[in-house]
Amino acid sequence: MALAKVRAGRGEQLRRGWLVVASASLLAALALGAEISPLFVAAGWVLILLSLLLSPSLPIIEPPEPDTPPAPLPPPDPLGDVCRAYAALDMPVMVLGADVNVQFQNDAAQRAFGEIATDSHLSVRLRAPGILDMVRETIATGQPNQIEYSERHPSERVFLLRIAPIMAEAEGQAEAPYYALSFRDISELRRIDRMRSDFVANASHELRTPLASLRGFIETLQGPAKGDPGAHERFLGIMLDQANRMSRLVDDLLSLSRLELKAHIAPSQRVDLVPLIGHVRDSLLPLAQELGIEIRMHLPEGRVEVTGDRDELVQVIENLIENACKYGQEGKFVDVYLRNEPSQPVELSVVDRGPGIPAEHVPRLTERFYRVSVADSRSKKGTGLGLAIVKHILTRHRARLIITSELGKGTDFTVRF
Ligand code: ADP
């Protein structure tokens, strides 16, 4: 379409007219040698100035010039357009011909599956028979199809593969036989699904054991031990332990779920760690005495402030010192260090001299329900959730947990703020 041009407005034309008239008359008068009075020259210049200042400039639209032909459009390239659009996507996409040869792959596909030469068969890169069957079916029927496909190398990935014909129909041409093969990465979804179902299975298992034990004792008290006061006392004590175990588990599960809800909200209070550590030590003294452990404090002078949530930090320190007392009992001492060096991050370390943790377990200790020995943890009233809670709290506090352990020497849990 030819564009209409905007040219000088009527005001502009008027102004130019006044200028020409005034200048011409002045020049004519001078050329004729006329004696011009200064009043006349001044009037002329006033006219020129007025014409410049007062004439409004109104744009007028000129009709399009009839003789400029429109630029010719490039010939239609429907597949090229489709490929250019796919190139901009961040999900892997390949374009296949009816011979199952790859005609195009975008950068995301290249990153996910490596380079593949144009016009080579899809099976060069994806050999799974399920994929080829699905592609052939779509080519035969023209109907879209999808399957789930997982790869183990170089890392475990799960994709939802979908194939659909491309409607690349140019005007006056037959429909081009091309097919778009797209890959939706659902590895993360699958991982979360698996974690959720593992978690539910673990939590139910942990609750089922004390529940089964409670039911067993109730049945015994109702039946064989009905009139036996000695058995009553013994069994009721065990039942209380089991009920306490269940409530510890439920408390820990609730703590975890509350922490998950606020995982993305960083705390804003300033908390002095020195009195907090002292308070936790006092509350754990009875346990330490029962286990024959001495908790030794190595705290700097003055305040050591960090940004955090007081109650959550108490929980972290409590879980770490309690674990050190329980699992490092043989070492007799648990040392708590607080370091606040200039231009260094604040560090809190809880060090025991227990048997240590075999290296293969260390990276998994903060997983929910992960325990080096389930029996050992249960006998020490553990739920397997303590370090998972610690990790959640520290993540919210933008702090790190560093675990170092040496067999036969002990374990060091350091929190770096
Ligand atoms: P639990 O409730 O079983 O104590 P945690 O999540 O607190 O659960 O700890 C997970 C596991 O890590 C424990 O069962 C134990 O096997 C191991 N662990 C934790 N702290 C120590 C430690 N200081 N020394 C040796 N092992 C430890």
Domain ranges within the chain, ordered by starting residue: 2-54, 80-185, 208-259, 270-416
Single out the residue of 38, 9, 8, 12 nearest to residue 26, CA to CA: 38
Over 90: is that where the pLDDT of 390 sits?
yes
Cis, bond preceding 154 (omega within 30 deg of 0): yes
Which position has the higher pLDDT, 236 or 65? 236
How many whole angstroms from its chain centre is CA 235?
50
350 CA: nearest ligand 1 atom: 23
366 CA: nearest ligand 1 atom: 6
pLDDT class for 29, splitting at 50, 70, 90?
low
pLDDT class for 120, splitting at 50, 70, 90?
very high
Superfamily of domain 270-416: Histidine kinase-like ATPase, C-terminal domain (3.30.565.10)
State the distance from the centre of ligand 1 to the C-alpha of 364, rounded, in angstroms: 11
Average pLDDT over residues 134-149: 95
The whole-number pLDDT of residue 176 equals: 58
Give the N- to C-terminal CA distance of the chain in Å, as an integer: 66
H/E element holding 221?
A: helix 187-222
Average pLDDT over residues 305-311: 96
374 CA: nearest ligand 1 atom: 14
pLDDT in tens, 374-389: 999 989 999 999 999 9
Task: Tell which one of 259, 327, 351, 412 to mutate to probe ligand 1, the residue whose CB is within 8 A of the most ligand atoms.
Answer: 327
Atom 23 of ligand 1, residue of closest alpha carbon: 324
State the distance from the centre of ligand 1 to the C-alpha of 128, rounded, in angstroms: 43
Over 70: is that where the pLDDT of 58 sits?
no
pTM of the model: 0.67
Rounded Cα–Cα distance for residues 392 and 350 (Å): 18
pLDDT in tens, 100-115: 999 999 999 999 989 8
State the distance from the centre of ligand 1 to the C-alpha of 323, rounded, in angstroms: 6
State the distance from the centre of ligand 1 to the C-alpha of 321, rounded, in angstroms: 11
What residue has token string 């990465």? Answer: 185
* 412 close to 324: Cβ distance less than 8 angstroms: no
Atom 25 of ligand 1, residue of closest alpha carbon: 327
The whole-number pLDDT of residue 5 equals: 41
Rounded Cα–Cα distance for residues 397 and 417 (Å): 8
410 CA: nearest ligand 1 atom: 24
* 178 close to 103: Cβ distance less than 8 angstroms: yes
Measuring CA to CA, how many Å separate 232 from each of 10, 218, 235, 352, 382?
112, 10, 5, 40, 26
For the chain, the average pLDDT equals 86
pLDDT class for 24, splitting at 50, 70, 90?
low
Instruction: Out of 34-43, 194-203, 210-219, 328-337, pick the least confident.
Output: 34-43
pLDDT class for 1, splitting at 50, 70, 90?
very low
Average pLDDT over residues 165-187: 78
Superfamily of domain 80-185: PAS domain (3.30.450.20)
Residues touching ligand 1 (Cβ under 6 Å) are: 319, 323-324, 327-328, 352, 354, 357, 365, 371-373, 377, 382-388, 411
Pick one of 1.10.287.130, 3.40.50.1390, 1.10.3720.10, 3.40.30.10 as the CATH number of 208-259.
1.10.287.130
Over 80: is that where the pLDDT of 305 sits?
yes
pLDDT in tens, 393-407: 999 999 999 999 999
373 CA: nearest ligand 1 atom: 16
State the distance from the centre of ligand 1 to the C-alpha of 327, rounded, in angstroms: 7
Average pLDDT over residues 129-151: 94
Average pLDDT over residues 77-90: 87
Task: Tell which one of 315, 387, 401, 404 to mutate to probe ligand 1, the residue whose CB is within 8 A of the most ligand atoms.
Answer: 387
State the distance from the centre of ligand 1 to the C-alpha of 404, rounded, in angstroms: 13
* 163 close to 183: Cβ distance less than 8 angstroms: no
